[in-house]
Structure 1
Amino acid sequence: MRPSQFVLPALLVPLLALSGTAAAAVHGPGRLSGPSPFAGCAPGAIDGKMAAGAIEPAVAADPSDPRRLAAVWPQDRNRGAVVAVTGDGGRHWKRSVVPGLTRCSGGRYDHVDDPMVTFTRDGGLVVTGSVFTDDYSESAALSVRSGDGGRTWTRPAVVAGESDPAQGGVHGSGAVPDPRDPDVLHMAGARFPAEARTNNEGWIARSTDGGRTWEEPRTTVASAEGSMVTGHRLVALDDGTLLDFHTHVRFGGGPGLSDYSVQVVRSTDGGATWSRPSKVGDMGTTIAIRDPESGEDVSHTTSILSDVAVDRRTGRLYAVWQDARFTGGAADGVALASSADGGRTWSEPVKANRTPATVPVPNQQAFTVSVEVGRGGTVAVSYSDFRANDAAAPLRTDRWLATCRPAPAASCADGTARWRETRLTAASFDMRRAPRIPDEASPRGYFLGEQMGLAAAGGGFVSVWAEPDAPGRAAAFVRTTR
């Protein structure tokens, strides 16, 4: 069925009540998530494969008012999405449930994955999320919009959907505003086949009314048989050019025998037609991030994802991904590459994470990476690592932010840039207290999410991440650095 047939009228619906909601004050590293808003919702059939608590938070800042921030995350085994908003630069946040995405929030799907939040140019909030049923028979990418700072929301609009399990499923990313038209948004994602290790395609959809309704998706890139495209990140340049960054996987006989690369396709006509893929860089990830002592997996689904950001002053692009080339293939670091010609050519990747090379190699593993460019062209890269770990029982883990302000006519990816590192976590947390996710097809082990949020706001950066707050449960945290 065409997505347009699923779209519901954009009628305002009241905000769902959230038990325990409060305007929480945040000074330095602070907790964003609160008590469960879904405690009264019946468990789902696959709750055991979902993480307890709040995971993989995303964050956005209003370009016209950096004091206005919004964060969103899936909570309580992905039963719904919770959004937190602030109008005072993050000193106080107010939480509420995003309505209509799942059955626990008044919708029809069972779970939400990878929710994202975007400020439109007229100050509206758009939350997008990938949703699916317990039996995976239906999936969709949905969007909802609030024009009053999260007090009321439109009914969910289907951006892309699939109701035939024989056709596989769909997954979406965040909405991206068109710099030239305040009413236009774009959203990218992927269609995945029902049979593993075959082929699939990326898609893009356009909204011309600020995210209330969406046109039928178009294909951006299609993979050949025996390969896959995934992890789509969309960028809109100031001249309207659209860039769909994604990971290309060419399957081999096993995870270690497959080839991975970051690629990009380009459209100069609003997404109607797309170029052939060009390579940003080879992705030399080890695939599995592992507990240095036990060898158990730690969030290894982050290993083949990339992130991208643009310097709006110059148009320079920066891309980051996990890569083990800096340790001879032994441990993932953060690779950073740059393009000065709109993504046509790219620099050789350099190491962006500041994880000391003096700690044991297993403790050098860096993962779950994000990139953003702020005022004055300052580049920020966030990541987690185990540098504080030792042989004691806790697996000490921290979240970090590395920043670089390039010299005139230079790049933070030229190998000579000077970086400054800030520890985001107030104290190391124990990764072994994180939710432990079993998954027969792709074991995820200890899991805090596939992404962590980073946004430029004013003269600084806002970072959000998840860490355990009790054995087997996670919570979302936030910190602003300047």
Structure 2
Amino acid sequence: MAVASAAATAATVDPVVVSGPSPFASCTIGGPGTSYVNAEVEPWVAVNPANPSNVIGAWQQDRWSNGGARGLVAGYSFDGGQTWAQTNLPFSACAGGLGYERASDPWVSIGPDGTAYSVSISFNQSNNNNAVAAAVSKDGGKTWGNLSVIIADNEPSLQFFNDKESVTANPTKAGVAYAVWDRLELPNGNPYANLHTRAYRGPALFSKTVDGGLTWSSPAQIVTVPSRQQTIGNQIVVDPRNGTLYDFFDLITSPSNGTPYNVAFIKSTDDGATWTKPRLIADLRTVDVVDPNTNEPLRTGDIIPEPAIDPATGQLYVVWQDARFSGGQYDEIAISTSTDGGATWSAPARVNTPTGRLAFNPAVRVNSSGTVAVTYYDLRNLAAGNTTTLPTDYWQTTSTNGGASFGNEVHLAGSFDLKLAPFAEGYFVGDYEGLDARGTSFLPFFVRTNTTTANPTDVIAAP
């Protein structure tokens, strides 16, 4: 159904550097491991519906080679993303907040009254203490308070690890927001290896606030899985017309099924009190993500689907990495869409411009005119035989017909050398990148590498 248009000369935009020097450069907490000072990765962004000139982003600051970062930082803008300032999010010891050694998986969402909610996975490297935490900003991202620990597993048995949380503000109910995540039992931090641990499982948990982040409900299990199954990448979108909640995720099943990764969702029509059973949208056919010239690993969001909803019509979209279009040779960007509340879904179709090269880390949003945007990285400019650098570009493509076709490609950044990114189980700019709609326009929010190891990466906005 949704196919990329023929490649044409792409438009370009002027990127804006969002991140600055690391506020944690002198912090010695969090080892062992390699901390990439001044390396920002895995950004997320939200536009304030009460004041669209106000934009708030969040990212990992000083990424560690073996998981998480020294802390999370928030960037905020009051001119639509043209200029930025930054402040620490209170989720780690380096940030002067919670006493955990590291933080990861930054997320931010803004309610209709302008209240911003941010969440984190906060954890220790020295033991298995870990938590999902939340904080709130009432001033456009300049300061953060109401620091709350939604769940904590601080015990020495290595039994539980909370992972890949997100937060979604209700778009029509001020003070209401929802957090979701997976809680791994007998974790080792690697979903691929977890598949082979018979006592392992990873259900999805849910908590919500109805008082603007002052308190959060006790975590409730909303996806129950048997042994050797888990969810990952849980993310809620809300239909503002009727309040229906949709939680999208990757449902990972036993490897004996042949296709263990599955794009799935559940829904709730009573504000999260009860949920449907998981429904599968499509199998997720990712393959090893590597530099095709050297076989060096890239760490990407290969098992993380990204959803969006058209607020005017309720049409649902979900994108993910998939190798089905290349005959299983390399990942590209797949999309599926539903116009009937998830009852039926279109067959997976390719979004990215086909170049014979890897495409990864898609994000998707729908603007106020119903235009759908998808952003992603690709390696189209990597020449055969180039083993010294990894030229990478960032793109946006759009659809004005409900995802039936995509075109009007915009070149957002690049080429830049991905081999200058932090190495964390592979060259790493994040398991996801940010994108939000601002009226009839879009605001991509992503990571680009630089040309010096003293400042490996920066967060970039393309307003």
> TM-score, length-normalised on structure 1?
0.85
> What CA deviation, in whole Å up to 9, does each residue of 1:413-440 have, x standing for no partner?
x3xx242111110x30011111112xxx
2-structure distance, mates of 1:243, 1:187: 12
Question: What is aligned with 2:298?
Answer: 298
Secondary structure at the aligned position of 1:48 is classed as: coil
Assess, with a 3 A threshold, how the Cα gap between structure 1 residues 434 and 75 changes in structure 2: closer, same or farther. Answer: same
Shift of 1:257: 5.3
2-structure distance, mates of 1:475, 1:127: 20
| 8 Å CA contact retained: 2:88, 2:95 | no
| 8 Å CA contact retained: 1:162, 1:169 | yes
- Cα RMSD after superposing both structures: 1.9
Question: What is aligned with 1:118?
Answer: 109
Question: What is aligned with 2:21?
Answer: 35
Secondary structure at the aligned position of 2:325 is classed as: helix
Shift of 1:113: 0.7
Shift of 1:124: 1.8
Question: What is aligned with 1:387?
Answer: 380
1-structure distance, mates of 2:121, 2:201: 20
2-structure distance, mates of 1:257, 1:278: 18
Which letter does structure 2 place at the counterpart of 1:451? Y
| 8 Å CA contact retained: 1:398, 1:423 | yes
Question: What stretches of structure 1 of length at least 5 have no aligned partner?
Answer: 1-26, 438-443
Secondary structure at the aligned position of 1:371 is classed as: strand
Question: What stretches of structure 2 of length at least 5 have no aligned partner?
Answer: 1-12, 64-68, 188-193
Assess, with a 3 A threshold, how the Cα gap between structure 1 residues 348 and 100 changes in structure 2: closer, same or farther. Answer: closer
Secondary structure at the aligned position of 1:281 is classed as: strand
Matched, 1:185 2:186: no
> TM-score, length-normalised on structure 2?
0.89
Secondary structure at the aligned position of 1:271 is classed as: coil
Which letter does structure 1 place at the counterpart of 2:453? P
Choose from 246, 250, 253 the match for 1:247. 250
2-structure distance, mates of 1:163, 1:51: 28
Question: What is aligned with 2:78?
Answer: 87
1-structure distance, mates of 2:397, 2:339: 21
Question: What is aligned with 2:51?
Answer: 65
Question: What is aligned with 2:32?
Answer: 46
Question: What is aligned with 1:129?
Answer: 120
| 8 Å CA contact retained: 1:51, 1:447 | no
| 8 Å CA contact retained: 1:31, 1:475 | yes
1-structure distance, mates of 2:172, 2:54: 22
> What CA deviation, in whole Å up to 9, does each residue of 1:204-239 have, x standing for no partner?
101011122201011110122122211111112221
Q: Percent identity of the aligned residues?
A: 32
Question: What is aligned with 1:147?
Answer: 138
Greater RCO (Cα-Cα under 8 Å, separation 6 or more):
2
| 8 Å CA contact retained: 1:154, 1:212 | no
- What is the correspondence of 1:154-165 to structure 2 with a 5 Å cutoff? 154-164=145-155, 165=157
Q: Which moved more, 1:329-338 or 1:168-177?
A: 168-177
1-structure distance, mates of 2:415, 2:98: 38
1-structure distance, mates of 2:35, 2:325: 34
Q: Which moved more, 1:75-84 or 1:305-314?
A: 75-84
Choose from 396, 403, 410 the match for 1:401. 396
2-structure distance, mates of 1:106, 1:128: 13
1-structure distance, mates of 2:37, 2:259: 28
Matched, 1:318 2:317: yes
1-structure distance, mates of 2:55, 2:247: 25
> What CA deviation, in whole Å up to 9, does each residue of 1:36-84 have, x standing for no partner?
1012211422342778611011111012322111111110131111111
Matched, 1:307 2:301: no
Choose from 27, 42, 47 the match for 1:56. 42
Query: What is the number of residues matched between the two proteins?
Result: 430
Choose from 424, 428, 438 the match for 2:412. 424
Q: Which moved more, 1:222-231 or 1:305-314?
A: 222-231
Choose from 198, 201, 208 the match for 1:199. 201
| 8 Å CA contact retained: 2:89, 2:95 | no
| 8 Å CA contact retained: 2:21, 2:38 | no
> What CA deviation, in whole Å up to 9, does each residue of 1:180-206 have, x standing for no partner?
421211111110112533212101101
